Structure 1
């Protein structure tokens, strides 16, 4: 995981804290149903960098695209027993390779779009979602594999 805390960026020899172009208020939920507010900060589209601001902490994630960064942030929260309440954490949301490339991983398909409509609706993976609609990474992976009627060893998607 490519993350670092805000304290690490305070060193004079490190790169300056990136200018965030967007701040998105989101929620997390734990197994007891306790909801906590977080802020997701995004860099400009040419960079795959996000920061998760949570109470008094800040963790930065960099990756090949926004979806990679979101996956790292979700993994970080899941280790704390929390789920991030965003569209990218819904079991029926997943991008195609082409959509991922064209949007720098920012948009994905909603596979439960209107039946009979042409193609699938796309959603912003950072848009808020209801706590009742989100799942952990393993459950999302299983839902995607089930949709495509595919079987892969755990962790290889």
Structure 2
């Protein structure tokens, strides 16, 4: 079951003396491997000002900190990809990427759904942690290539 529930801040202190972040949200997502095996993971988000994520995966706990949530998500995805798995979230779709301004205003939490054609309509925005189906997602390298190809198709005089 995929669940995105906001929770009141929780103190997740353990026995260590290091201060622990307060979690503001727990998100349940799926991962999928090349054989099609689906596994469930939980992501705990820290306060947006801290850009901190904890990934709980089959009993293991991994901590990620970054400049913003997108940076943290990229680190989570990179780690899962090393294990041969993809994270089934909107931020892993090939046509999802924020502008610099949207990234700054949402601390990397929102991103645009890029269209291949030019349009006068405002692009759709999505929460990068919202669930996505396995058919919609790609690895980090393929996502980067898709974003660059989309840019080049829309701006042929300014190839990246």
- TM-score bin (small chain): 0.7 to 0.9
Number of residue-to-residue matches in the alignment:
141
Residues 1:105 and 2:108 are matched in the alignment: yes
Q: Which has the higher contact order (CA 8 A, sep 6+)?
A: 1
Rounded to whole Å, the distance in 1 between the matches of 2:151 and 2:118 is 17
TM-score (norm 1): 0.84
Listed as ranges, the gaps of 5+ residues in structure 2 are 1-13, 153-158
Q: What is the DSSP-based 3-state SS (H/G/I as helix, E as strand, rest coil) of the residue aligned with 1:70?
A: helix
TM-score (norm 2): 0.83
Listed as ranges, the gaps of 5+ residues in structure 1 are 1-8, 152-157
Residues 1:121 and 2:124 are matched in the alignment: yes
User: Is this contact kept in 2: 1:48–1:64, CA < 8 A?
Assistant: yes
The structure where strand makes up a greater share of residues is 2
- How far did 1:11 drift? 2.9
In structure 1, the partner of 2:34 is 31
User: Is this contact kept in 2: 1:20–1:41, CA < 8 A?
Assistant: yes
Post-superposition CA distance 1:51-75 (Å, at most 9, x none):
1111101101000000000000000
Runs in 1 of length 4+ with deviation above 2 angstroms? 9-12, 112-117
C-alpha RMSD of the superposition = 1.7
